[in-house]
Amino acid sequence: MLYDKARIFVQGGGGGDGCMSFRREAHVPMGGPDGGDGGHGADVVFVCDDSFRDLQAFKRRAHYKAPRGRHGEGAQRHGASGEPLIVAVPPGTEITDLEGTVHDLVVPGRRVVVARGGSGGRGNRCFVSSTRQAPRFAERGIVGEEGWVDLRLKLLADVGLVGVPNAGKSSLLARLTRAAPKVANYPFTTLEPILGTLDGAERQLIIADIPGLIEGASEGHGLGHEFLAHVERTRLLVHVLDLEPLDGSDPEENYTVIERELELHDPRLASLPRILVLSKADLVSDEKAEEARARWQARFDAETPPREAWEPEDPFAATPVLVTSAATGLGLDELALTLFRRVPVLAAGDLHGVYAGAGDVAGTELDELPAHQTYKPTARKSWEVEGVSEGVWRVIGPEVERLLARHDLENEDALAHVEHRLGKMGVLQALADAGFQSGDDVEIDGVVFELD
């Protein structure tokens, strides 16, 4: 069974705590604080690995926690940082991270950090100043980022076979490639996408058999809507149409239904090149098959926009119509040749075909993708002061909450340092400007202080 969806919980490693330590050695007159810093927590990193094909591994394990950093020690020994937790995913995986950003991993070796580890705390050695010779506090490490991450696999195939159930897609795939999909002499529909490799003289093509679509598939009807996303990666669609359906339906109506569902799912699919394959020709007469082929080909030729006299003729402008039979092998060699002619060869580093349907990076050269991002500190303050009630104030914002999380508020030296930092940040002045009076309560991250 193909697993193409997963939801997992990731957690970056927490930072190690700084150490509060003092150097005490016999016959050493100059002692003092020598606590080391804590190590940084490890990141959770997703890596595109070509050795994987689906998301089955995430069915057995749903929680991924990166190792934390080691605590600092005395004698200025710093804690070791945690090793990144590497999570391998198959090519074609879309990752929606904790902030809702979608990362598309299609090139083997590509990496993306989904949950960053927390930073380590500083030891008491870092807080020595001219007025504080023996600091008796150290910082705590910060916890890492955590949350649920959604994974969605979209198969990387060159050609996608689409059509209504029982159109003959699986039979075509079995005859063209080494794939072994279920094929029987009774009506049924494929329940999961199947990949096959079409071998040529100089290259290969990956063909995907997409489960049969029905009307309303783009809105969630039937089974096919679960696999419409796999069509987005393909560079060529082969629309398989039964010449004489067993259920008595009209082939033209079936064609219209599938094309409409593809366009409703993603308008870009409407612009993909097509090949129309009229299957199961062994069940009708040769005259009827040729008549149907000529009728469809005339329809596509009429839909092709006219060319100016000075424009060269494009042999691939119109959709070709082929008559095939998986039972007798009719038209299969012509179909294979047409596939190789119509699917362009990707140049080295050209990701246009691979990234088709991948959002803003579609058609981007590998060298053009950003190598890194630079984050600059902003001058705008990240906290606010608000009045809760008479004599009660609240300070909210990640900057002040992070300050409190780093220190032990039961330690008087640490508490004095926190108050000093609040003054340097401008929080105390902002409270005074808002009407703060001596003895009022100030709440920060659920902790109530009584400031003078």
DSSP 78-141: PPPPPPPEEEEE-TTEEEE-TTS-EEEE-STT-EEEEEPPPPPPPPGGGG--SS-SS----PPP
3-state secondary structure of 164: coil
**pLDDT value for 367:** 47
Mean pLDDT of 272-276: 88
CATH class of the 384-450 domain in this structure: alpha beta
Are 17 and 78 in contact by the 8 Å Cβ rule? The answer is no
Q: Are 134 and 22 in contact (CB under 8 A)?
A: yes
Strand (E) or helix (H) holding 419: helix 412-425
384-450 shares the fold of 159-306+314-356: no
Quote the pLDDT of residue 39. 94
208, β-bridge pairs? 160, 195
User: Per-residue pLDDT averaged across 383-400, rounded?
Assistant: 83
Class of domain 159-306+314-356: alpha beta
pLDDT of residue 359: 39
Nearest-angstrom CA–CA distance, 143 and 241: 57
Looking at every residue in the chain, the average pLDDT score rounds to: 80
* pLDDT higher than 50, residue 364: no
Higher pLDDT, 254 or 4: 254
Read off the amino acid at residue 435. Answer: G
**What pLDDT digit, counting tens, does each position of 303-339 carry?**
776 655 555 555 566 789 999 998 898 999 999 999 8
196-230, pLDDT tens digit by residue?
778 887 777 888 887 756 555 455 544 545 556 66
Residue 370 has what pLDDT? Answer: 54
Please tell me the distance from the alpha carbon of residue 219 to that of residue 14, in angstroms, as a whole number. 43
The answer to whether the CB of 72 falls within 8 A of the CB of 38 is yes
Domain boundaries, given as residue ranges, for the chain: 5-153, 159-306+314-356, 384-450
- In the prediction, which pLDDT does 449 show? 77
CB atoms within 10 A of CB 66: 26
CA–centroid distance for 412 within its chain: 46
Work out the average pLDDT over 27-38.
83
Taking the CB of residue 372, how many other CB atoms lie within 10 A of it? 4
Neighbour count for residue 294 (Cβ, 10 Å): 11
Kindly report, residue by residue over 243-262, the tens digit of the pLDDT. Answer: 888 777 888 888 888 888 88
Q: What is the pLDDT of residue 38?
A: 94
DSSP type of residue 268: G
Spatial distance between the Cα atoms of 63 and 252, rounded to a whole number of angstroms = 49
**How many percent of the chain have pLDDT more than 90?**
23
What residue type is 315 in one-letter code? Answer: P
Query: Is the model more confident about 349 or about 166?
Result: 166
Average pLDDT over residues 268-292: 88
Runs of H (alpha helix) within 223-370: 251-265, 286-303, 332-342
- Retrieve residue 373's tokens: 């991002």
The residue type of 426 is G
Task: Enter the CATH code of domain 5-153.
Answer: 2.70.210.12
Is the sign of the CA dihedral 164, 168, 174, 180 positive or negative?
positive
- Residue where the block lists tokens 């990193």: 45
For residue 423, is pLDDT > 90?
Answer: no
pLDDT tens-digit readout, 15-24: 999 999 998 8
363 band by pLDDT with thresholds 50, 70 and 90: very low
Please name the residues in contact with 395: beta carbons below 8 A apart, sequence gap of 6 or more.
383, 384, 385, 386, 427, 431, 442, 443, 444
Strands (E) across 134-212 are located at 146-153, 159-162, 194-199, 204-209
Compute the CA torsion angle 67, 68, 74, 76 (nearest 10 deg).
90
H or E element, residue 394: strand 392-396
Q: pLDDT tens-digit profile of 73-120?
A: 988 899 999 999 999 998 888 899 898 888 988 888 899 999 999 999
CA distance 388 to 446: 13
d(CA 121, CA 288): 80
Quick one: tokens of 384?
A: 């606010």
Sorting pLDDT into bands at 50, 70 and 90, what band is 360?
very low
CA distance 292 to 44: 56
pLDDT at 434 over 70: yes
Residue 248 falls in which region: left (phi positive, over 0), alpha (psi -120 to 50) or beta: left
* Residue 8, Ramachandran bin (φ over 0: left; ψ between -120 and 50: alpha; else beta): beta
32-33 and 384-389 beta bridge pairing: unpaired
Q: How confident is the model at residue 357 (pLDDT cuts 50, 70, 90)?
A: very low
pLDDT for residue 181? 58
Mean pLDDT is highest, among 297-306, 309-318, 390-399, for 390-399
Do 436 and 429 contact (CB within 8 A), yes or no? no
Q: Report the percentage of the chain scoring pLDDT > 70.
A: 81
- Amino acid 86: pLDDT: 95
Phi, psi of 424 (to 5 degrees): -65, -30
DSSP-assigned beta bridge partners for residue 443:
394, 448
